[in-house]
Amino acid sequence: METAAKAENIKEMNNTGETLSGAEILVRSLIQEGVDTMFGYIGGAIMPVYDALYDYQKELKHYMSRHEQGATHSAQAYARLTKKPGVCFTTSGPGATNLLTGLADAYLDSTPMVVITGQVHSGLLGSDAFQETNMVGLSMPVTKWNFQITKVEEIAEVMAKAFYIARTGRPGPVLIDITKDAQVQKTEYKYERCKGIRSYQPVPKLNMDEISAAAELINSAKKPMILAGQGILLSGAEQELMEFAEKTQTPVACTLLGLSSFPTDHPLYVGMLGMHGNYGPNMNTNQCDVLIAIGMRFDDRVTGDTSKYAKQAKIVHIDIDRSEHNKNISVDIPVLADAKQALTELNKVVSGSEREEWMQTFKDYYQLEYEKVIEKQTHSSRERINMAEVIDCLSEKTNGEAVLCTDVGQHQMTSARYYKFKNPNTQVTSGGLGTMGFGMPAAIGAQIADPNATVVSVSGDGGFQMTIQELAVIRQYKLPVKSIVLNNSFLGMVRQWQDLFFEQRFSYTEMDNPDFVKIVEGYGIKAKRVSKREELQDAIQEMLDFPGAFFLEVVVETESNVLPMIAPGAAVSEMRLE
């Protein structure tokens, strides 16, 4: 009863002046920031915090991952769906270093996170103590901000700053490293949420001259094209984007992380950009007269050869991060703004007319892509199942409304190409870092964020084995995650590059895999394997109908390539269909 009462009254206890341990101050700070879910793995240097968590189990739900990297990916997906910072804990030394991949992934993909690592006693810092690592130094390149707490008096203020920095402006991960003595020291508790930091302006003041210049250029365009990035989703600007596209009658293409920001069944949607994107938007990047990039950073996987990228076009680039303007591509009108803010103002002053001839070029390119690639992959005549058949079937049976969490590789690109996303924030993947093993722990975080959603993890046989232990989390917490492994017995994307660019010298890419079904059943999860085309539809339906977690292994073609493809160093308009 005492624990329950403490949890119920925590918000009223904010500024009571009680004397509390650093660990309990940290826990209360989480609650004051609206945190109710976290991921982590306990260890010696963080034990005082975990001991404090014991008294707040009603307010704070902790999910124990089976590897710290898994905790970060779960927290990333949780953040993307809830729009709240994902939170995870771990101990010092190897526990903390195991977080670095997830931090780098979150940093490149602008995912808000607050990561808390335990640290050795402050008196031992710099002495090479047991499980001591310099996490501030190690995490500096992959965090938006980091800080080492050595005194209990610092905890409340640093935690408030951490959450403010993580979620404002261009979101990103923050790491707080806290020594063990700071966790057990006591001080008077008082918490105040951060409302601003001197010299840090997370949301730039909108320059209306930039908006006017952009609108003038857009209104004069004959062949405009919108490139929608993840900034649309981060700012919640999906409706503003649709209004903008419809007002200006401009075709919309999405980056990999921008997928689900615009409905795939909308008549103005023309596909995905990039190395394995759709043919039309890539080709027409070098045909449009005005390119309107919103919340995207002109990553090399989108631009191809930058010396040949959209040279004929005037470029408007809307982004909240000034450093992205003119970084990879020179632009004509940079607009420093949040996507929602900029589109709201642009929608007041833009206009357009029917662009049937321009839209027809996209349709013609799509027809060519369909004949050369799509039809052959979704209706394969080969003996084994093609990855595209699986994703196409999954999309149809879920009506494009599942939350799809993918690893990295051929299956990721196939999922991005063939799943018809209907709703925002339903595609969760690793973009900038390209982290194998991302999919299943991400699906865990997504399912926790939205318990009523159909959440499907799609992995290859390589990536699946990198975080396979997270099956235990699915089992322990009874999460109804659906997991699909597309097993081609290869590191498929690497094999594809060896096929196309390394004279078919298949060096160390073939996989001799274990029996995945037996392994998954060992975790107490229902599992099934299919290898025949006629079994596929029923198997996917069985998976979706099953009330709990379900694992489906699909044996697919071993030597199929994901096409179209922009070869390394080639221009977007040099995309190959075969």
β-pair partners for 46: none
Confidence of residue 139 (pLDDT cuts 50, 70, 90): very high
Check pLDDT > 90 for residue 61: yes
CA distance 100 to 75: 13
Count helices and strands (H / E) in the chain: 25, 20
- Dump the DSSP string for 426-460: -EE---SS--TT-HHHHHHHHHHH-TTS-EEEEEE
130 in active site: yes
Residue 320 tokens, joined: 């909240």
β-pair partners for 227: 253, 293
Check pLDDT > 80 for residue 91: yes
493 in active site: yes
Confidence of residue 11 (pLDDT cuts 50, 70, 90): low
Check pLDDT > 50 for residue 33: yes
CA distance 62 to 89: 10
Amino acid at 458: V
68 in active site: yes
Check pLDDT > 50 for residue 1: no
Please give the pLDDT value at position 9: 57
Confidence of residue 203 (pLDDT cuts 50, 70, 90): confident
Confidence of residue 14 (pLDDT cuts 50, 70, 90): low
CA distance 231 to 294: 7
Which residues, including other chains, have CB under 8 Å from residue 146's CB and lie 6 or more apart? 135, 136, 139, 140, 174, 175, 176, 177
Candidates 159, 413, 493, 543; catalytic one: 493
266-318: pLDDT as tens digits? 999 999 999 999 999 999 999 999 999 999 999 999 999 999 999 999 999 99
Candidates 33, 68, 238, 240; catalytic one: 68
210-261: pLDDT as tens digits? 999 999 999 999 999 999 999 999 999 999 999 999 999 999 999 999 999 9
Helices within 205-250 (DSSP H only): 208-219, 230-235, 238-248
422-466: pLDDT as tens digits? 999 999 999 999 999 999 999 999 999 999 999 999 999 999 999
Candidates 6, 58, 64, 131; catalytic one: 131
147 in active site: no
Q: Are 484 and 554 in contact (CB under 8 A)?
A: yes
Check pLDDT > 50 for residue 71: yes
Check pLDDT > 60 for residue 6: no
Check pLDDT > 90 for residue 521: yes
Backbone angles phi, psi at 347, to 5 degrees: -65, -15
Q: Percentage of residues in the chain with pLDDT exceeding 90?
A: 94
Please give the pLDDT value at position 17: 77
Count CB atoms within 10 A of the CB of residue 139. 25
Check pLDDT > 70 for residue 366: yes
Q: Which domains does the chain have, with CATH numbers?
A: 1-189 (3.40.50.970), 208-361 (3.40.50.1220), 383-556 (3.40.50.970)
Q: What is the DSSP letter of 10?
A: T
The mean pLDDT of 560-578, rounded to a whole number, is 95
Which residues, including other chains, have CB under 8 Å from residue 70's CB and lie 6 or more apart? 39, 441, 444, 467, 469, 470, 473
Pairing status of strand 113-119 against strand 86-90 = parallel
Which residues, including other chains, have CB under 8 Å from residue 453's CB and lie 6 or more apart? 402, 403, 446, 447
Q: Percentage of residues in the chain with pLDDT exceeding 70?
A: 97
Please give the pLDDT value at position 210: 98
User: In a 3-state reduction of DSSP, which class is residue 413?
Assistant: helix
Residue 86 tokens, joined: 């994902």
**Among all chains, which residue has been given the structure tokens 């339903």?**
426
Please give the pLDDT value at position 199: 86
Mean of per-residue pLDDT scores for the chain: 96
Q: What is the DSSP letter of 470?
A: G
Please give the pLDDT value at position 425: 97
Candidates 8, 11, 57, 130; catalytic one: 130
Give kind and range of the element (H or E) at residue 186.
strand 186-188
Residue 203 tokens, joined: 């949301």
Which residues, including other chains, have CB under 8 Å from residue 306's CB and lie 6 or more apart? 298, 300, 328, 329
- Dump the DSSP string for 339-385: HHHHHHHHTTT------HHHHHHHHHHHHHHIIIIIHHHHT--SSSB
Check pLDDT > 60 for residue 320: yes
Please give the pLDDT value at position 125: 87
Please give the pLDDT value at position 352: 84
Candidates 84, 161, 180, 223; catalytic one: 180
The mean pLDDT of 47-69, rounded to a whole number, is 98
CA distance 55 to 23: 11
Tell me how many degrees the CA angle 44-47-52 measures, rounded to the nearest 5: 180
113 in active site: no
